[in-house]
């Protein structure tokens, strides 16, 4: 499977990652592109150790698959319910030096299909649609490929304010953090954090994310998601309370498996 990452067109945010879409244009073609989205509901718990805040969340993670171009309705989605904890404070520094916090998936449940609930979902993925392009192992950690890692199970959270102070770009020749914030603001949304993945595992080794995304911090975390909320949400968003969304900053290009997960020359194939 040839893989690679590219900038999303115009940085258009997804206001409701788990909302229903008009899927009339979806076809039985194989998936060519993949994006990621998540919606979660968090409850803040500040009763633990001093300066440690934990937000317990539950939500649905989506692997969204497209044909050729990311336009119109997606081909299909894998919806995976999860439980997670966001941790903020000095005690997070051991795993993420200098970051605002971490998001750790604690339980990943079975994929939602059309039955029994929720009713009305008719864009779930079939093996024929995905062929060799099923990326759900990024959350489950399940793969037959040697050296595979669970790229999404621990995410570093860096606040948008902190990145603004650092005059930070998403990629060496890419979009400045202020442009990302302004794009979401124009859509009535507030971008609060970037969620970053480790510079390792499938996204770095096979998809080549480390070749296009700017590493952050001494551990070289790579930006993968923008975290956002409705602009009318309470201002204490640094702990991710209430309804919070995430969507991928990049899209992954999927190709024919020859061999699986990496092209013959071992280099990434970017859009």
Max mean pLDDT among 85-99, 105-119, 139-153, 205-219 falls in 205-219
Average pLDDT of the segment spanning 228-255: 79
The 10s digit of each residue's pLDDT in 33-53 is 899 999 988 887 767 666 777
Positive or negative: CA dihedral 194, 31, 118, 84: negative
**SS3 state at 179:** helix
**Cβ atoms of 74 and 133 closer than 8 Å:** no
- Phi then psi for residue 43, to 5 deg, are -125, 125
Asked if the bond preceding 118 is cis, omega within 30° of 0, the reply is yes
Q: What is the mean pLDDT of residues 95-112?
A: 83
pLDDT digits (tens, 9 = 90+) for 6-40: 443 344 333 333 334 444 444 457 888 899 999 98
Residue 82 has pLDDT above 70, yes or no: yes
* Residues forming a β-bridge with 86: 55, 103
């Amino acid at each position: 499977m040839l893989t690679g990452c590219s900038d999303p067109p115009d940085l258009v945010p997804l206001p409701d990652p788990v909302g229903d879409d008009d899927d009339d244009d979806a076809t039985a073609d194989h998936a060519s592109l993949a994006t990621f989205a998540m919606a979660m509901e968090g409850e803040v718990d500040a009763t633990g150790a001093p300066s440690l805040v934990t937000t317990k969340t539950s939500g649905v993670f989506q692997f969204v698959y497209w044909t050729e171009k990311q336009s119109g309705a997606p081909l299909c989605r894998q919806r995976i319910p999860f439980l997670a904890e966001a941790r903020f404070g000095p005690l997070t520094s051991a795993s993420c030096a200098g970051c605002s916090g971490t998001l750790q998936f604690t339980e990943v449940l079975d994929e939602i299909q059309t039955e029994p609930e929720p009713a009305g979902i008719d864009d779930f993925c079939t093996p024929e649609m995905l062929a060799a392009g099923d990326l759900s192992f990024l959350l489950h950690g399940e793969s037959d490929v040697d050296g595979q890692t669970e790229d999404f199970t621990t995410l570093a959270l860096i606040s948008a304010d902190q990145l603004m102070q650092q005059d930070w770009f998403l990629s060496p020749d890419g979009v400045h953090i202020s442009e990302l914030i302004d794009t979401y603001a124009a859509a009535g949304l507030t971008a609060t954090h970037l969620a970053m993945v480790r510079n390792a595992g499938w996204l770095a080794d096979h998809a080549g994310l480390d070749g296009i995304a700017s590493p952050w911090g001494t551990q070289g975390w790579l930006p993968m998601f923008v975290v956002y909320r409705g602009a009318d949400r309470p201002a204490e968003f640094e702990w991710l309370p209430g309804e919070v969304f995430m969507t991928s900053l990049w899209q992954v290009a999927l190709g024919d498996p020859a061999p699986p997960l990496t092209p013959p020359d071992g280099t990434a194939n970017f859009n």
